[in-house]
Structure 1
Amino acid sequence: MSDDEELRSQLADRLARSGHLRTQPWRQAVEGVARHEFLTGGFFNRIDTKTVTAWAPVMPDDPLWLERCYQDESLVTQIAGTIVPGDLRGEVMRAPTSSSTMPSLVVRMLEDLQVDAGHRVLEIGTGTGYSTALLCHRLGDELVASVEVDEGVSGRARTALGTCGYAPHLVVGNGLAGHKDGAPYDRVIATCGIVTVPMEWIEQTRPGGIILTTLCGWMYSSELARLTVHDDGTASGRFLAGQISFMLARPQTPPPLGILPDLDQGQEREAALGADVVDDWDTRFVAQLAAPRAQRITLTRDGRTEHVLLDVEADAWAALSEDGGRWSVRQGGPSRIWDEIEEHVTRWRADGAPPLDQFEVSVTPDGQTITWPRA
C-alpha cells in the first residue's frame, strides 16, 4: 500500500468514527479518490496576527504537504479571485475565494444527499474537483455534471479529475442558473452558500428529487437545508442539524459598503435587545430572516464602540452602542433594520426559541420563506 493509499484509509477511518462517513459506497469513494491530486497546485496556510489574517503558500515540495492533504481541514486554494499558491512567495492579506472543503463536511453532505445508483446529480461549485470525483466514483462520470463560475478553477479541476481517471461534464458558468441542458436531475448539491434558492434549480430537478444547499445571510450565520421538489414546481424541507459555513456564491456576495452614512443622524431610542444578541449563531440566523441583506461591522468613534448594520441596497442602517449596560440604537433610511430584528428575535424567543433544525423552508415562484414552529 502506497503512502497516499494508507492516508486515504486513515482518513476514512477518522470520518467513520466521527459519524460523517456512514455507508460503504461512500467509504469506498473516500478510499478510492486521491485528495492530494486535487491539491498539486498547493494551498494556503492561514497565519493569524493580532491585527490581520495573512495566507502563505504550501507547495508539494513541503515535507508536510501530503499529510496535510489528508487532514480533516479546509484548504484554501485561491485568494482574491485570481491568486493561487504558485503565484507568490511570502504572504498575502486578501480574502479567500476558493478552497478544498474539509472532507468531513464533503462526506456528510454526500451522505445527506441520499443518492442511489442511477441518480443524475448536478453539483454547484466544482472547486478543486475532489467532491466531484467522489460523486463520479459513486455514480459514474456520465451521471455527474458540475458548474463552476471561475474558468481557471474549473480548468485545474478538469486536469486533476482526468489524472484520477474521471471525466464528468464540467461547465463554466453561473451555478445559480444550474445547467438546463443536463436536466432533469435527481439531486442538486451546492458547495457554496446562497441567500435564496434559485427557481432554476427547482425547475431542473425532477419531482421527488432533492436539493441540498447552505442558506445564509450577509451576517454569515448559515444552515444546511435539504429540500424536496414537488409536482407543482415548488420545494420545501428543513435544515439539518449542525452549523455549516461556505463561501457565498459570487453573484450573491454582499456589495461594497462604500461611504458610510452619517451615523450621528437618524432616530434614536433605547434598544430592547443589544447588539450582543447576534453573537449567538442561532439568534443571528433568526435576525438574518428579518434583514438578510444587512452587513455587520464594528467601529470605534470618540472612544465608543458602535455596532453597525447596513443594508446598502435599501439605504437603511442601524447603529447600536452600550453605556452602563443599557443599549441604544439610532436608525436611518426607509426601513428600520433593528426594529425588524428585535420583533423577529422576540417572537422566536416567545415561541420557545426552537432550534434551527425545526425550521421549515419553502420555495415557490413567489419567493422563499423560512418559518419556525409557533408555540
Structure 2
Amino acid sequence: MTRFLREHGQLTDDWVPAFEAAPRAAFLPELIWAHDMRTSTNQAVDRRTDPADWERVAHANVPVTTQWDDGAHEGPDPGRAPTSSASMPSVVTRMLAALEVFPGARVLEIGTGTGWNAGLLAARLGDERVVTVEIDEAVATRARPALQGAGLHPEVICCDGRDGWPKGAPYDRIIATAGVREVPVAWLEQTRPGGLIVGPWGTHFGHEDALVRLTVAEDGGASGPFLDWVEFMKLRAQRLDWDLFEHHVQEYPGDADVSTTSLTSAELGAANRYDGTTFILGLLVPDCTHLVNERDGVTTVWFFDRTAGSRAWASVVFRPEGERATVYQSGARRLWEEVVRALEWWRAVGSPPLTSFGLTVTADGAQRPWLGGPAHPVPAVTLRE
C-alpha cells in the first residue's frame, strides 16, 4: 500500500515512516466489508476463511467497513448502515497532508475507529502528542490493543467527539474522521489561535461531504477553503433524523401544486453525487433535505423542509421517455422554486468548482459558506407563499 500511494503521488516522504510503522492491516478485525465505489456495494471478507483475499483488501486503496448499525448487527451480510470503518488510504493521506503537522504539534483526533489514523499520527509525532476520542466503547476497546500491538500508545478516550477533549487542550491541530453538519464550538475553543481544524463538512441537503481546512483566529472563529470531495459516516450527534419527515406527505400527490420543468435529473446531480451539484445546492437552500428514488426507470427527486413545524415538500418525477418532468409542490415554502433559483445563481456566477468555496465558523457557532473569500457569503434562497 505504501508503495502504491507513493507511486501515485498520494504519500509524501515525510509520512512514509509512519505508514511503515502503522500498516492498516494491523488495525483491521478479522471480518471486514470491502466497499466498491462504482456499485456502492459491500463484500464481506473473513480472514479466518479466506486469508489471501483479506490481505488483498487490507492493503488495497478501498474503504473498509468494520461495524454496522452501531454494533447491533451480526453475521457476514452487510447491515443497514455502516457506522465505523477504515477510510480509503488515499483519503487518509489527503487529510493528513492538509493537517500540516510539525514536530511537537499536539493533535486531537475526533473518531478513533480502528485506531489506524491515530496510530499514524502517533508514529509521526509521538504518543504523548496525540489524543483520540471515540463515542463507541466497543470500537474504542478494539482500537486500544491494535495500537498497543503496533507499539503505539496515544491517549484513547471514550466520549462524544462533539465535545472534543478539553483536558488536553489547547491543540495545534484537530482532525475529524466523521462528517459534521456543524463544526462544534468546543473544537474552536480547544484549538490555539493559528491552529488548524481539518475534517469533512456538509449540509443535511445530502450525504456528501467536502474536506475543509479551517484556521482558527484570535477572535475564536475559524475560516478556510473546501479542498476536495469526501464522504464519511456522520458524527452521531449530528446524524439526520429521517423521522422528521414522516408526516410531510400524507397522500401523494394529494392537493400539491403541479407544474413541469425542462431541467433534467442530471442537472440536479442525481446521476453523480460527486459532480458537486447537490453539495452546492445544500449551501444555497437552507434547512432542506433531498433524496433520490429510482424505480422501473423512473427517477423521483424529493425535497423536504427541515424547519420546525413545517411540512413543506416537493418532488420532481423524471421519466425515461424524455418529456418534461412533473413537479409537485406542497406547503408554504416553495422548495422547488428555491432549488431552481439556487441553480440559476450558481450558473450566473460561472458554475465555480468546490475549491472556490469555503466556510467561516463564528465563535458562537454560526456556519457561513462563502465564495471566493469570507467577505463574500453565498446567498441563502428561501421562498414562501
Which residue of the partner structure matches residue 284 of structure 1? 278
Q: Which moved more, 1:264-273 or 1:347-356?
A: 264-273
Structure 1 residue 327 displacement after superposition: 2.7
Give, in whole Å, the separation in 1 of the partners of 2:35 and 2:99. Answer: 31
Give, in whole Å, the separation in 2 of the partners of 1:274 and 1:31. Answer: 48
Structure 1 residue 349 displacement after superposition: 0.8
Q: Structure 1 residues 106, 60: CA separation in 2 closer, same or farther (over 3 Å shift)?
A: farther
Task: For residue 291 of structure 2, give the secondary structure of its aligned residue in structure 1.
Answer: strand
Tell whether the 8 Å contact from 1:295 to 1:311 is kept in structure 2 after alignment: no
Tell whether the 8 Å contact from 2:174 to 2:198 is kept in structure 1 after alignment: yes
Task: For residue 352 of structure 2, give the secondary structure of its aligned residue in structure 1.
Answer: coil
Give, in whole Å, the separation in 1 of the partners of 2:87 and 2:298. Answer: 38
Q: Structure 1 residues 322, 18: CA separation in 2 closer, same or farther (over 3 Å shift)?
A: same
Q: Which moved more, 1:209-218 or 1:251-260?
A: 251-260
**Is 1:12 matched up with 2:12?**
no
1:254-298, Cα deviation, whole Å (9 max, x unpaired)? 112435503313233333644432225211111111145403132
Structure 1 residue 163 displacement after superposition: 1.3
Which residue of the partner structure matches residue 6 of structure 1? none
Q: Of residues 239, 244, 252 in structure 1, which corresponds to 2:238?
A: 252
Which residue of the partner structure matches residue 32 of structure 2? 43
Give, in whole Å, the separation in 2 of the partners of 1:110 and 1:305. Answer: 38
Q: How many residues align?
A: 357
Q: Of residues 329, 332, 351 in structure 2, which corresponds to 1:331?
A: 329
Tell whether the 8 Å contact from 1:195 to 1:292 is kept in structure 2 after alignment: no
Unaligned residue ranges in structure 1 (runs of 5+): 1-10
Give, in whole Å, the separation in 2 of the partners of 1:176 and 1:278. Answer: 32
- TM-score of the two chains, using structure 2 as the length reference: 0.85
Structure 1 residue 226 displacement after superposition: 0.6
Tell whether the 8 Å contact from 1:282 to 1:356 is kept in structure 2 after alignment: yes
Map residues 42-81 of structure 1 onto 2, 5 A cutoff: 42-45=31-34, 53=41, 55-64=43-52, 65-81=54-70
Structure 1 residue 95 displacement after superposition: 1.8
Structure 1 residue 366 displacement after superposition: 5.6
Tell whether the 8 Å contact from 2:114 to 2:139 is kept in structure 1 after alignment: yes
Task: For residue 109 of structure 1, give the secondary structure of its aligned residue in structure 2.
Answer: helix
- TM-score of the two chains, using structure 1 as the length reference: 0.87
1:159-193, Cα deviation, whole Å (9 max, x unpaired)? 11111122211121211121111111100101111
**Is 1:152 matched up with 2:152?**
no
Give, in whole Å, the separation in 2 of the partners of 1:228 and 1:340. Answer: 32
Map residues 23-38 of structure 1 onto 2, 5 A cutoff: 23-24=13-14, 26-38=15-27
**Is 1:216 matched up with 2:223?**
no
Q: Structure 1 residues 256, 167: CA separation in 2 closer, same or farther (over 3 Å shift)?
A: same
Q: Structure 1 residues 300, 109: CA separation in 2 closer, same or farther (over 3 Å shift)?
A: closer
Structure 1 residue 334 displacement after superposition: 4.0
Give, in whole Å, the separation in 1 of the partners of 2:11 and 2:183. Answer: 27
Task: For residue 248 of structure 1, give the secondary structure of its aligned residue in structure 2.
Answer: coil
Q: Of residues 233, 239, 242 in structure 1, which corresponds to 2:226?
A: 239
Q: Which moved more, 1:354-363 or 1:126-135?
A: 354-363
Tell whether the 8 Å contact from 1:132 to 1:146 is kept in structure 2 after alignment: yes
Give, in whole Å, the separation in 2 of the partners of 1:360 and 1:46. Answer: 29
Q: Of residues 304, 307, 328 in structure 1, which corresponds to 2:301?
A: 307
Which residue of the partner structure matches residue 341 of structure 1? 339
Q: Structure 1 residues 67, 298: CA separation in 2 closer, same or farther (over 3 Å shift)?
A: closer
Task: For residue 186 of structure 1, give the secondary structure of its aligned residue in structure 2.
Answer: strand
Structure 1 residue 14 displacement after superposition: 1.1
Give, in whole Å, the separation in 2 of the partners of 1:63 and 1:367. Answer: 49
